Chains A and B, each alone.
Chain A
Amino acid sequence: DVKVTQSSRYLVKRTGEKVFLECVQDMDHENMFWYRQDPGLGLRLIYFSYDVKMKEKGDIPEGYSVSREKKERFSLILESASTNQTSMYLCASTLLNTEAFFGQGTRLTVV
C-alpha cells in the first residue's frame, strides 16, 4: 500500500512559535507538495519540490518555508506562526502524469 504520512493530525501552537510539519512518502516519488485548505478556498499550493534540495514557490508561500534534504521527506516550516495560519495542511506526492497521493492532513491551530 502506498503511503504518505504526516507527522501530526492535530497541532496547537502559540503565536510566534516556529512550527515544523513533516511529510514522508514511501513511493520514491520525485514531486512533493504542501497545500492548505480553508473553507470556500479549496486547496491552495504553498510550496512544491521536484527533487532533493529543490523547491519552488506555490501560490501562497508568504510566511512559509520548506526543506527537502531526502527524497522521501518534505517539511513545511512556519518561521513565526500567526493566527491566520490556522488551517488544515495537506501533503501530497506524485510522479509526473500519475495520480497524487495525499497524507491524512494536519489541522493546525495557532493561538
Chain B
Amino acid sequence: ILNVEQSPQSLHVQEGDSTNFTCSFPSSNFYALHWYRWETAKSPEALFVMTLNGDEKKKGRISATLNTKEGYSYLYIKGSQPEDSATYLCAPYSSGDKLTFGTGTRLAVRP
C-alpha cells in the first residue's frame, strides 16, 4: 500500500486567514501529484496536477508546490473564504498507473 500522509487531518480557520496543508508520499516511482477539492455531497474535483520537481501552480487564491526528491507537496489558500470549506485530497500517481489518495485535510472556514 502506497503510504500517503496528509496533515493536518482537520483545520478550522477564520474567514480571511491564510492556511496551508502538507502531503507526503514516497518519492520512488513518481509520475505526478494530484490535488483535489471535495465538497460535501459532490464528487472530488481536480485543483492541480504537478509532475516536475519544483513545480508551482496557482488557481486564484489557491497555490501548490511540489518537491519530488523529498516526497512532499504543500497546498496554500490565501485569504480563506467560507466557500473554501471542503476536504482537500492529494494523490500521487505512481508507476503501474495507480492513483492512491491520502485521507485528506478537512478545512472549515468560519465567517
Binding site for B on A (CB under 8 A): 31, 33, 35, 40-45, 48, 50, 56, 58-59, 90, 92, 94, 96-105
Contact = CB atoms under 8 A, between A and B. Distances in A.
16 contacts: A40-B103, A41-B103, A42-B89, A42-B101, A42-B104, A43-B89, A44-B101, A56-B97, A90-B43, A96-B32, A98-B49, A100-B91, A100-B99, A101-B46, A102-B43, A102-B45
Contacts of B71: none
Interface in B28-42: 31-32, 34, 36
B97 A97 contact: no
B100 A97 contact: no
B60 interface: no
Contacts of B1: 59
A90 B89 CA distance: 14
A48 B93 CA distance: 12
Interface string B78-110: 000000000001010100111111111000000
- What 6 A-B pairs have minimum CB-CB distances, sorted nearest first? A99-B46, A42-B103, A102-B43, A43-B101, A50-B97, A97-B32
Given A96-B93, A97-B32, A45 B43 contact: no
B101 A48 contact: no
B100 A45 contact: yes
B51 interface: yes
Given A96-B31, A96-B93, A97-B31, A45 B46 contact: no
A94 B31 CA distance: 13
A59 B34 CA distance: 18
A105 B46 CA distance: 16
Nearest to A103: B43
A94 B104 contact: no
A68 to B, nearest CB: 13
B73 to A, nearest CB: 15
Given A43-B89, A56-B96, A97-B93, A102 B44 contact: yes
B32 A33 contact: no
